[in-house]
Amino acid sequence: MEPLRENVSSHKYFIFDGFNELGALRPVLFTPFFFMFIVSLFANSLLLYVIITQRSLHSPMYILIAAMAGVDLSLPLFFVPNMLLNFLFDWRGISLGSCLVQMYFVHLLGALQSSLLLWMALDRYFAICTPLYYHEHMAIPRFLKFVIPLLIRNVFIVSVVVSLAGSLPFCFRNTIDHCFCEHMALVELACGSTAVNSLVGLISVFLIPVADFIIITSSYIVIFSSVLGAGKSSVKALHTCVTHIVVMAVSLTIILVAFLSYRIRNGLPAAVRVFFSIMYLFFPSCFNPIIYGIRTTEIQQHILKTLTRCHFVKMVPHT
């Protein structure tokens, strides 16, 4: 009976083993992910700087874009540096406590990305469909009625998911087939039944990104109807909404493939599953600044002025 008791003792230290199939080629992954990381940091930092320093951009729409940039800047910091060190120096270890903290903030910030897209869709709905009451709807006390419930939803659901994962015993394996503490990658190492964890994780997907996508799509259907009835003067607004929908649809597809791949054993290679799990977090952080920042004319003009001014300052010593 003594060996059995020893086997049942729970692991408190884990090893990341994502992309292990690549063998000696695994360090090559450092280059593309490092490049994406630098692009994400630079683009989101620049976007935040421009919106904060330009008073003409202190309107609700631009404040939401700044909030998105802040989230997109923060999210990669919780898992990408550790992942890059893993690729380059083979530093793979993490304690259970650190793993759960990483999981909590990664999934909470990921949920906040989805909520921000919903708030941005509401902003466009009020601006296009009820322009006379736009400032009334977007006043802070009134808009908080849309913000606070989603924040409570995100914190509650993510807290439940992470708490249930942390309460599991990990008796047999401590090798995580991933590059960061993704929920199901950790849960599948547990001994005993994980049906509740799998179900709660799946419910969280449908209560956050899927539910937000449905609401966003519904609001844009109303916006499209309003724009088409208004004629050519609102074609630009329609173009912005289409771009928003496309980005949201791509992100949701990546999320569903990543989450469902752990629950439906369909022969999907482990490396592909890990790649999708990384990209559903990393993809928005790299491309949101382009979609919501650079493609917005007012922001684009201020970004060009900022970059030109910085270039001029560098050139001064040579003149």
Give pLDDT, residue 55.
Answer: 85
The C-alpha atoms of residue 219 and residue 121 are separated, in whole angstroms, by 7
Residue 6: what pLDDT? 43
SS3 94: strand
227: burial class by Cβ within 10 Å (0-12, 13-18, 19+)?
buried
Q: What pLDDT sits at residue 302? A: 79
Full DSSP string of 19-58: TGGGGGGGGGGHHHHHHHHHHHHHHHHHHHHHHHH-GGG-
To the nearest 10°, the Cα dihedral for 146, 237, 239, 113?
-20
Q: Residue 216 falls within a domain, yes or no?
A: yes
The residue range of the domain holding 194 is 12-318
Cα end-to-end distance, the chain, whole Å: 82
Q: Tell whether 4 is covered by a domain.
A: no
**Integer CA distances (angstroms), 309 to 53, 54, 235, 312, in order:** 14, 14, 33, 5
For the record, the structure tokens of 124 come out as 């466009």
223 lies in a domain? yes
Report if residue 190 sits inside a domain: yes
Q: Which two tokens stand for residue 211?
A: 């539910």
6 domain residue, yes or no: no
Work out how many domains the chain is built from and give that number: 1
Task: Say if residues 165 and 187 touch (Cβ distance below 8 Å).
Answer: yes
pLDDT of the residue at 2:
38
Looking at the domain assignment, is residue 3 inside a domain? no
Domain assignment present for 214 = yes
Is residue 44 assigned to a domain?
yes
Distance in angstroms (rounded) separating the CA atoms of residues 298 and 46: 14
Task: Supply angle C-alpha 242, 58, 280, rounded to 5.
Answer: 40
199: CATH: 1.20.1070.10
Neighbours of 91 (CB within 10 A): 13
What is the model's pTM?
0.85
| Rounded CA separation 112/13 (Å) | 29
CA angle (160 as vertex; 285, 122 as ends), nearest 5: 45
- Return d(Cα 140, Cα 129) in angstroms, integer: 19
pLDDT of residue 290: 79
With CA atoms as reference, report the closest residue to 161 among 202, 213, 211. 202
Counted residue by residue, the chain has a size of 319
> Under the phi-then-psi rule, with left for phi > 0, alpha for psi from -120 to 50, and beta for the rest, what region is 296?
beta
Per-residue pLDDT of the chain (319 residues; tens, 9 = 90+): 334 344 456 788 899 988 888 888 888 999 999 999 999 999 999 999 999 988 888 888 889 889 999 999 999 999 999 999 999 888 888 999 999 999 999 999 989 988 998 998 888 888 888 888 888 888 888 888 989 999 999 999 999 999 999 999 988 788 998 899 988 889 988 888 888 998 998 899 899 988 998 898 888 888 888 777 665 455 555 666 676 777 777 777 777 777 776 666 556 777 888 888 888 888 888 888 877 776 677 787 878 887 787 754 444 444 4
